[in-house]
Structure 1
Amino acid sequence: MRRSHAPSYLAKRRAAPVMGSKARPPKSPNTGEERQDAEKENGATPPEDDHEVRIKRLLQRPFKVPIPGYQGSSSGRVGLGVRRPTVRKALHDPEADGAVVLYTPPELTAEQATKTFGEKRPVHVVVDPILGTKLRPHQVEGVQFLWNAVTGVNIEGFNGCIMADEMGLGKTFQCVTLVWTLLTQSPDCRPTTNKAIIVCPSSLVKNWYNEFGKWLGNRISPLAVDSGRDDMKRQMERFVSATGRVQHPVLILSYEALRLNADILCVKPIGIVICDEGHRLKNSQSQTYKSLMQLKTARRIILSGTPIQNELLEYYALVEFCNPGLLGSAGEFRKRFENPILRSRDSLATDKELEIGAQRLAEMTEIVNRCVIRRTNDILSKYLPPKIEQVVCCRPTNLQMEMYKAMLGAKMKRKDGTVTGSSLAFITELKKLCNHPQLLHDKIAGKGKTKDKAFGALDPFLPQLKPSMQRLQPQLSGKLAVLDCLLATIKMQTTDKIVLVSNYTQTLELFTTLCALRGYQYVRLDGSMTIKRRQKIVDRFNDPTSSDFIFMLSSKAGGCGLNLIGANRLVMFDPDWNPANDEQAMARVWRDGQTKLCFVYRFVTTGTIEEKILQRQAHKKALSQCVVDDGLDVERHFSKNDLRELFVLDDKCTSSTHMQFKCRRCSKDGTYSLIPPTGEVKGIPQDLAEWDHYPLGKNIKDKVLAAAAGKTVSFVFRAQSHEGFVDPKALKKKTPEKSDAEDDDEDDDEKK
């Protein structure tokens, strides 16, 4: 056979030993030094002594899978041959003490068990114990409802819902629990979804981010997008394009940021979308609503303690967002539900209208109750001290009454009593007059825009008013005079702090001047303040060692999401047309962490447009209660004609609202009481007619208010959440740790 002379074959022949010859092994070194030299030449390390070996063994750590609750295969060592079937296991033990089980697989018959391999059987879905052990009973119920809704259990073919819990019940915490469960578990032993979007007011973006960190630590890395950052779009693009195990599975952004970048977020499917303070979506024609509807997701959750603020069509818009088509088209809803129900809510409705309205309401409630969960803050009575809420009617001063009549006289031109010109602007000026005549000084003086004829009628009163920068005269306003006395009484007789809330920054300026006049220390939060600065002010005020006595708050800027438990008294100085705005603002002090008896005062000027606003609030809240709070109905006190009579001054009554009730149970001294007995929790009734009534400010139980009332307070409505005082020490023992942002709401909103 011819030999190859290729280089590779030549190399092999040189390396191979000759047949029949004995290969000599390499000579091994004899001495230790020779061995070390040889080991160095060969690249080997010298052997370690016994001590070093022992130290290495002590410092060794066994490998541990960095996944919480991970369990390996129970089949042991994997050998060659046919793969053995494995039995699926839930991520967390459903039999553990306190386990919150959201899904239990159906039991299999013997025949099904033989046909279904263990690796295909569904498993339990159990809330991560790090969250489940901290859920309160009502929160367990809430998380279960959310899970059933988004997985299609509640309504087949629909995966959305509305969580309409009132403020302070922990809507944020419940949603954090749901999102974490969806991202990590399913009956099929895989994540239900790999991405979630949280949309909230800009002031609550950081709050949501902190909540995930508070409850889950480094288990999750959410992405909070600040609308002011230059790389915002790039962050969103990376979130949308990410696949598999996503580094940032939760995106938190504001409604404004989503509206501006909807084209980026709607490119690929999203697992779930949660909208905090979702009543912002009450208008289905708004750009924000349309942008959210573009997102490719079937799972939509709205968080709102006030799903109905003004009318039923707003409620329809929210339900339509979560579950499109559930209530039909807007026209069908209006014809079948809205019109009959609204007609039945009028105090002059006929028996037939009442009957039809009740039928349609029951029909609608049966449909939406499967996708709406609602709990009131009566639940908080178990964890918080009592709250006393009082509506304080303050008589207008002589100057206020004369100016009020002059403004109405100048505006009234028609026999039917309607108002000409810009009614909304005129209403705003009437409300400012109720706060203090000084707020109209610039208008009367003709500063700024063209002077209105109605203000020309106020020229004779100008000498009695002073510019806002000069010395304040609290006695010119009934409400401000009562507030002045109330603050002085609280300062001298208690150690309490107080929050002052107004819809107008001009009124906050009055408060600032009053504090300077009386020497009170205060902090102020309004719309001009950055979010970072807001939190610093809140932390400073809540510090028990802080000397700040008053927290001034603009209801529009800080109505939701703030936790002001450093104070236990709050004054709502002027009412808002939307009752939800007032409810949000008044919930700042009575929330988790509060340890003192709370007092909420709602000031209105007797017989003026402020009482008309209060009556409209009551009418809207009655509608909301009969729709959202299933089975609860409020007596009809107001007709459409009553609510239309805005521009009337009743200067003879103690309360025009109380007159509308036609109350037959009030004695002359107003001693009627409806406070529940000790241990019974009934909460604060929505109907003012069911509150305690104190005409002429007599026999007021609140000693601080009684000392401040004088002759200016004409009527007081009073209600108390529950009896008894919760001991702060017992409260800390019984109450599990809970979120600062809960409330939705915080809330939030809360507090979104």
Structure 2
Amino acid sequence: MSSFNCLKETLKPCSTFSSSYSSSQISLSQEIQSPPIQRKPPKSSLSQQLQRLQDPFFIPPKQIIVEEENFGPYHQHRREPISTHFQFDPTGPYEPLILSSPADNPVIQVPASINCRLLEHQREGVKFLYGLYKNNHGGVLGDDMGLGKTIQTIAFLAAVVGNETEHSACKVVEIDDGKKGPVLIVCPSSVITNWENEFSKWSNFSVAVYHGPNRDLILDKLKSKGIEMLITSFDTFRIQGTILAEVPWEIVIVDEAHRLKNEKAKLYEACLGIKTTKRFGLTGTIMQNKIMELFNLFDWVAPGSLGTREHFREFYDEPLKHGQRSSAPDRFVEIADKRKQHLVNVLRRYLLRRTKEETIGHLMMGKEDNVVFCAMSALQKRVYRRMLQLPEIQCLINKDLPCSCGSPLKQVECCRRIVPNGIIWRYLHRENPDGCDSCPFCLVLPCLLKLQQVSNHLELIKPNPKDDMEKQRKDAEFASAVFGTDIELVGGNTPSESFMGLSDVEHCGKMRALEKLLLTWISHGDKILLFSYSVRMLNILEKLLIRKGYCFSRLDGSTPTSLRQSLVDDFNTSPSKQVFLISTRAGGLGLNLVSANRVVIFDPNWNPAQDLQAQDRSFRYGQKRHVVVFRMLAAGSLEELVYSRQIYKQQLSNIAVSGKMERRYFEGVQDCKELQGELFGICNLFRDLSDKLFTGEIIESTQKREEKYAHCSDIDQGVGKIFVPDESSGAFPSGSENRKYNDLDNPSTSKPLLEDVGIVYAHRNEDIVNLGPELPGKKDVNISTVEHSTHTSKIRHADRMLSVVKKDNSLIKEQKRKQYSLLAQFMGMGEIEFSKWILSSSRSEQAKLLRRYKKHKEKLQNG
């Protein structure tokens, strides 16, 4: 009876529709047959959001326009785009999913009880895993977080090693004694419970956890064939790997497989000892920092698939990195393009990578990732500059200069190898006053940590009461040195106990901007996730929320695992809970917070995957609203360099994994001492950027360089349409024809609003990182071991194909230039003036021009 009442509720007209529409009859069958509306909502303008700070009743004009012929009259003053079509539970027909070929015997299939609950992309994932399994090798399921990699894996296991017999399904793969081999699942300890719960929901396997006490009992039961699925943690497997390697595993699955990125790690060495060819990795972040991480991961799941380590480095890693350099010669760029395409084609045999936009995008309203550069307070800037003058940092900056003693050696090799007058150095070397083997490079990480603390909040560089007394004395001395004459303004060099002082935003640029953003969001009913990497920073932010009277929840590493899910459920269901404070490290896995539609990442991470995982706590299946993310950076600080390196790493990942085109922003090349550019090397880490707009200048100079050539390809002769600059350049925002310029990038409209909030620069991350689509190519390439001869033949073929494409492209560009010139003459303008007219005109004006030109051309031909 309750399910019938739920069905009646589902069929009720939406309350947001007008009375005239709700009174009209809607045919349910007609609604089911009509395809779901696949559209991205118009990207919200940061400037429009900020205007609400000045006018609490401000409503952005025409933010939502729904066509009347499809949906009838609609309230246009809803601030968030709302999906108006019915959304049913993702259930399919109650029938098994056949995986094996028709001629195969026995038949391999996913039981109907599981298949009926899978989404279509999950069925494709199961087929992919079975294809790898059938060919007796492994691979990587690299779907975005939230697409159900765990569920796809369990469905796959139910088909190949399950014990259900629906529809007379015969199961396969038996070891010599007729018993099926067990399956090993290695995962982070924080998701062991999640795996257990999913197994209980989706299957009836006998599951055991090899973690903590009673491991010997579990191992005895495993050897007696009493366990089908064994789950263990990374740490346990790293320690007990030699014992577990003796078990004849049928399948081994590593969740969060990007942990296998380092070939020198003990975990990687332990995983190499597993005696099975059916190795599967699950990860949404296939590559995090370096292209060589790809080799380590895929050489584990499919040994030899990418050749030898040295061959991979020379053939793929080096050309791709050097081809992405901003001033790379054309020859380098061409070689990088060819190697990129070849690498993508090889990986596609062992990798299935899908995004939310490709799979469940029509069920979600989209995500917008804003990066905002907040102005540091005047006090923060003074403290930051004092830090750069400390003896330790000056030693690192000047390490390559000639030594002042007159020797031919560098300072780092002579008199300045140690820093006995440095506060940090003395503490690190309190037991070895003559220095260590790593001096002075042992100072890099401690100094970087202090710079990041100043960028976030000055209170963070004061002593932590939880540290030992000696470290507290060192931190107090350090705080006195960098505060200098401003020490009274920050309440001395000891931790402040003043609630009002800690919650005050006067001396923290990020908190000043956050305070105003929270005001407008909460006043409009938004729910916010607020992330920080530092627990001490969470304590300060918590005091700000209390002072402002906001109702919030909090989760960090100290939160018991048993209480985490109840906190999540309470936040998702309680209308009164407005903000969720989360530690970025604690919030990385297993949290589903779809009730929030605003995400703030207060401090960035060196690893871009950490920030992206934090965003996906909200942007996942079940999210009904448009998600807006704000990544807050301290302008002119080390955080700008951290973010620029994030862009670099994301671009390399897009190039190597997906074969996408990316803008070439940076001159630096990773792991190349001769080409450190503006990103790499110790001297860049400790540069004074406080008077510069470092990231903005690099991005804008790159875009201006591209705009010089933009008008050369503005006319598509075959379609008869004027092409304006790509939306990623910021000239035209997605989904809007009424606004000529992106408010975020238009200085005349956005700059005063941004400055009022304390933001000196802002952009959308997706507009900066993603330039072009994936490379076209076959989904499957029959390459098991990449030999040099195979590379050579394929590259020669690619060379011939590339020369043909270049020839065709040059002809097309020449034709477009001629057409562009003729249109400019028709308008009585020069080409530059005509380019400006295109940028300032509406789409209807452009279409009208083309119609006029077409008629004019027909008259000339007929006349």
Aligned to 2:763: 717
Compute the displacement of 1:392 (Å). 1.2
Larger Rg: 1
Matches of 1:447 and 1:204 in 2, distance apart? 35
Cα offset for 1:461? 2.2
Residue identity opposite 1:102 in structure 2: L
What is the 5 A alignment of 1:123-162?
A: 123-152=106-135, 159-162=137-140
- Residues 172-251 of structure 1: matches in 2 within 5 Å? 172-184=150-162, 189-192=170-173, 193-216=180-203, 219-225=204-210, 227-228=211-212, 230-239=213-222, 241-243=223-225, 246=226, 248-251=227-230
Matches within 5 A, 1:600-749: 600-630=629-659, 632-640=660-668, 641-644=677-680, 645-653=684-692, 656-662=695-701, 663-664=703-704, 672-677=730-735, 693-694=744-745, 698-699=749-750, 710-718=756-764
Deviation at 1:572, TM superposition (A): 0.5
- Do structure 1's residue 479 and structure 2's residue 510 form an aligned pair? yes
Instruction: Tell me if 1:456 matches 2:477.
Output: no
Letter in 2 for 1:221: S
The aligned residue for residue 556 of structure 2 is: 526
Q: Is the 8 A contact 2:138 2:277 kept in 1?
A: yes
**Partner of residue 580, structure 1:** 609
| Residue 454 to residue 315, structure 1, CA distance change in 2 (3 Å) | farther
Cα displacement (A) at 1:386: 2.5
1:554 positional shift:
1.1
- Residue 317, structure 1, aligned to residue 296, structure 2: yes
Match of 1:100 in 2: 97
Q: 1:719 to 1:301 in 2, by over 3 A?
A: same
1:589 aligns with 2:618: yes
- Tell me what 2:286 maps to: 307
- For residues 380-430 of structure 1, the C-alpha deviation after alignment (integer angstroms, 9 at most, x for no partner) is 321112322211111111111111111112232455799966121111111
Structure with more helix by fraction: 2
How far did residue 562 of structure 1 move?
Answer: 1.0
Q: Which residue does the alignment assign to 1:36? A: none
Tell me the amino acid that sits aligned with residue 173 of structure 1: I
Point out the more displaced range, 468-477 or 308-317.
468-477
The letter for the 1-side match of 2:760 is: S
Q: Is the CA contact 2:665–2:699 (under 8 Å) kept in the aligned structure 1?
A: yes
Q: Deviations over 1:537-572 (max 9, x none)?
A: 222222235x33221111112212211123221100
2:341 to 362, 365, 377: 362
For the Cα contact (< 8 Å) 1:538–1:564, is it kept in 2?
yes
Q: Deviations over 1:188-247 (max 9, x none)?
A: 93333542121111110111111122223xx3332234x33x2123113312x133xx4x
Hey, what's the Cα distance between the residues in 1 that align with 2:748 and 2:610?
27
State which drifts further: 185-194 or 322-331: 185-194
Task: Write the distance in 1 (CA, Å) between the matches of 2:313 and 2:355.
Answer: 28
Change (3 A) 1:405 1:200: same
The Cα of 1:446 is off from its aligned counterpart by 9.3
2:644–2:695 contact (8 Å) kept in structure 1: no
Alpha-carbon deviation of 1:622?
A: 0.5
1:263 equivalent in structure 2:
242
> For this pair of structures, how many residues does the alignment match?
580
Which residue pairs with 2:446 in the alignment?
425
Q: Is the aligned partner of 1:399 residue 2:420?
A: no
Equivalent AA in structure 1 for residue 558 of structure 2? S
Q: Which letter does structure 2 place at the counterpart of 1:101?
A: I
C-alpha distance in structure 2 between counterparts of 1:138 and 1:249, whole Å: 27
> What secondary structure, in the 3-state scheme, does the structure 2 residue paired with 1:557 have?
coil
Question: C-alpha separation between the residues in 1 aligned to 2:700 and 2:470?
Answer: 41
Paired amino acid for 1:657: G
Higher relative contact order (CA 8 A, sep 6+): 1
Q: Is the 8 A contact 1:272 1:299 kept in 2?
A: yes
- Distance in 2 (CA, whole Å) between partners of 1:345 and 1:104 is 43
The alpha-carbon deviation at position 671 of structure 1 amounts to 11
Deviation at 1:712, TM superposition (A): 0.9
- The 3 A distance-change label for structure 1 pair 468 and 541 is farther
**Which residue identity does 2:653 align to in structure 1?**
S
3-state SS, counterpart of residue 761 of structure 2: strand
**By how many angstroms is 1:636 displaced?**
0.9
1:748 equivalent in structure 2: none
Deviation of 1:352 (Å): 2.5
Amino acid of the residue matched to residue 435 of structure 1? Answer: N
1:333 aligns with 2:318: no
Displacement after TM superposition at 1:137 (Å): 2.0
- Partner-residue secondary structure (3-state), 1:319: helix
Aligned-pair distance for 1:126? 2.4
Aligned to 2:536: 506
Q: Which residue of 2 aligns with 1:74?
A: none
Change (3 A) 1:172 1:712: same
Q: Closer, same or farther in 2 for the Cα pair 1:417/1:168, shift >3 Å?
A: farther
Structure 1 residue runs of 5 or longer lacking an equivalent are: 1-95, 107-120, 153-157, 680-689, 701-705, 722-752
Contact 2:96 2:110 in 1 (8 A): yes
Calculate percent identity across the aligned residue pairs: 30
In the aligned structure 1, how far is the partner of 2:328 from the partner of 2:229? 50
Any residues of structure 2 matched to 1:367-378 within 5 Å, and which? Answer: 367-378=346-357
Cα offsets for 1:441-469 (capped at 9, x unmatched): 33999962535779624332221113342
Structure 2: which amino acid aligns with 1:716?
Answer: A
Q: Which amino acid aligns with 1:543?
A: T
TM-score (structure 1 length as normaliser): 0.71
- Compute the displacement of 1:435 (Å): 0.8
1:407 touches 1:458 (CA, 8 Å); kept in 2? no
Residue 489 (str. 1) matches residue 549 (str. 2) = no
In structure 2, runs of 5+ residues without a counterpart are: 1-92, 174-179, 402-411, 413-439, 669-676, 709-724, 768-863
TM-score by length of 2: 0.63
Deviation at 1:104, TM superposition (A): 1.3
The DSSP-based 3-state class of the residue aligned with 1:553 is strand
CA contact (8 A) 2:160 2:172 kept: yes
Distance change in 2, residues 1:659/1:184 (3 Å): closer
Moved more, 451-460 or 555-564: 451-460
Q: CA separation in 1, counterparts of 2:372 and 2:513? A: 10
Q: What is the rounded CA distance, in whole Å, between the counterparts of 2:101 and 2:733 in structure 1?
A: 44
CA contact (8 A) 1:604 1:610 kept: yes
SS at match of 1:463: coil
